[in-house]
Structure 1
Amino acid sequence: MFVTLLLLFGMSSCAQNNPNQKTTKGIVVLELFTSEGCSSCPPADELLGKIQNENKDGQVYVLSYHVDYWDRQGWKDIFGNPEYTRRQYDYAKWLGKEPVYTPQVIVNGKKDYIGSDEFTIRNAISSALSKPAAAEVALKTTAVNNKLNVHYTVNGISKNSRLLLAVVQKSAKSNVKRGENAHRILSHYQIVKQLQSIALKNNESGTVAITEPKEFTATDFEVIGFVQDTNSGAILGAARAENN
């Protein structure tokens, strides 16, 4: 028994001191599908804003997509984009969850929840953080002549992987005059203003140029990148860009 314990201790020590062994932290990408025309969306917007505030420098990344299918109900969402409606329908196919709805939160591309269900979403965050990410992502941005040059390095991808780069406005307010939220001033957080997809081949690094939004400032915006399997929708890794 004594010899066995010595062997186990020795194996444990070697594993802890092995410089080639990497531990990839768990990550959580929360994608909220929301709209200014939806009366049940403001509580979800506020919840995701609170979670973002708690994780400014952590491994939790919040992305809010404003869909456009509520626009015909009397108020056109100033952040609405048909591209984000299409993305939500992609998730409906990946998850087998049709019809689409708001507010919907997708966690790491794998499971969906009602966007205002704080208890369930926080449990999903804790669960996801306990598992190591499958891919490592590193991003650096440099602003030059109204362009954001984003240098990326990705390790640990699958053959169906793509890198998605989201240019995110950290917060905004909107005075809604019609529709279900008429006469309310709504607060929004982590608004995706642009989303660019890049094909990846094996483990890869490169640089891509993105046009800055008109109101862009380094203080009010950030770039979040994440690797997604296009067959399943699963998100394999994510990072927040560092500014050069």
Structure 2
Amino acid sequence: MKILSLLPISFLSSFLLLSAPSYAQNLSAPAAQNKNPTHSTPLQPFVELYTSQACPRCPKANEQFAEFAGTNDVIAVTFPVGIWDFMGWKDSFAKKAFSNRHEAMNVQLGRRGPYTPQTIFNGTKHCSAVKEKNMERRLDEVANTPNPMSIQYNGNQLSVAGNKSELEIWVVDFIPGKTYATPTSGQNSNKTMVYHNRVTDLVSAGTLPANGGKLNAHCIESCAIIFQHPNHGEVLGAITYPDNSGFENNT
């Protein structure tokens, strides 16, 4: 500023006029980002836990999963499923869409059927969630190679460029942090179960062709956007909206 104050007034005026467009653009950029947040950061590994309120090993596994998610750089969500509803207690959070995904993912994994408590890592590795060390090992096996894709998302529209193959986009709405449930009968009667980033809705936003495009992908409040090969194949990774919504303080 001292240098500018020594310049002739006419020269200073010309300098400010010439630089005004870029200066104004720089000022407006933060405001635009606050109004319509976008994501251009690399995809993070996506870890999904499938759990049931009638599963005797799930209360402890849910706790282990919450600890695992809190100490690793991943996007981790919990899908409640009704796989054991026939045992006398109907899972209060389960939805058919969650069970459908659970079954389809296990088909791709080459398994005869799904199980609980099951964690799946980027659609290619899986293990029980009972022991945190097992989840750590599986996470290490998931390749997290840099992805050249350019991603922009404002909560309603997703714009992607640079993907090398066709991708199906999933919108996973969830409640950030911890929520709880206490079954009143069945295997876990009167046991309080914790849920980390409990999923409340799952919707396919459609398929993007190779080299990208745009899709409408509405996020209700907090969500993960999954980038997955079609037919429940490999997951390239995920982003959260708003930024870091999967890592907020417990609720």
What range is the shorter-chain TM-score in? 0.7 to 0.9
Match of 1:86 in 2: 100
Q: Counting strand residues as a fraction of each chain, which structure ranks higher?
A: 1
Matched residue, 1:54: 71
Equivalent residue of 2:142, what SS? helix
Find the aligned partners of 2:217 and 2:96 in 1 and give their Cα distance.
Answer: 23
Partners of 1:136 and 1:238 in 2: CA distance:
13
Alpha-carbon shift at residue 196 of structure 1 (Å) = 1.2
Tell me: CA distance 1:242–1:114, structure 2 relative to 1, closer, same or farther (3 Å).
same
Q: Does 1:229 align with 2:229?
A: yes
Residue deviations 1:30-65 (CA, integer Å, cap 9, x gap): 11111111011112211221233335xx4x111211
Is the 1:139–1:239 contact (alpha carbons within 8 Å) kept by the matching residues of 2?
Answer: no
Tell me the SS of whatever aligns to 1:184: coil
How many residues get paired?
Answer: 200
**Contact 2:43/2:238 (8 A) holds in 1:** no
Residue type at the aligned position of 2:55:
C
| Aligned position for 1:140 | 154
Unaligned runs of at least 5 residues, structure 2: 1-40, 244-251
- Tell me how far apart the structure 2 counterparts of residues 174 and 125 of structure 1 sit (CA, whole Å): 28
Query: Unaligned 5+ residue runs, structure 1?
Result: 1-23, 142-149, 213-217
Question: Per the alignment, in what secondary structure is the counterpart of residue 182 of structure 2?
Answer: strand
SS in 1 for 2:193: strand
**Residue 8 of structure 1: aligned partner:** none
- Pairing 1:97–2:111 present: yes
Q: Which has the higher helix share?
A: 2
Report the RMSD for the aligned CA atoms in angstroms: 2.3
How many percent identity over aligned positions?
Answer: 23
Is 1:204 aligned with 2:213?
Answer: yes
Q: Is the 8 A contact 1:68 1:80 kept in 2?
A: yes
Q: Please say if 1:117 is aligned against 2:134.
A: no
Q: Give the conservation status (yes or no) of the 8 Å contact 1:174–1:186.
A: yes
User: Per the alignment, in what secondary structure is the counterpart of residue 101 of structure 1?
Assistant: coil
**In 2, are the aligned partners of 1:30 and 1:63 still within 8 Å (CA)?**
yes
Answer yes or no: is 1:163 the counterpart of 2:180: no
Q: TM-score, normalised by structure 1?
A: 0.73
Select the residue among 177, 188, 196 that pairs with 2:195.
188
* Equivalent position SS for 1:178: coil
| Residue 139 (structure 1) shift | 2.8
Distance of 2:149 and 2:106 partners within structure 1:
24
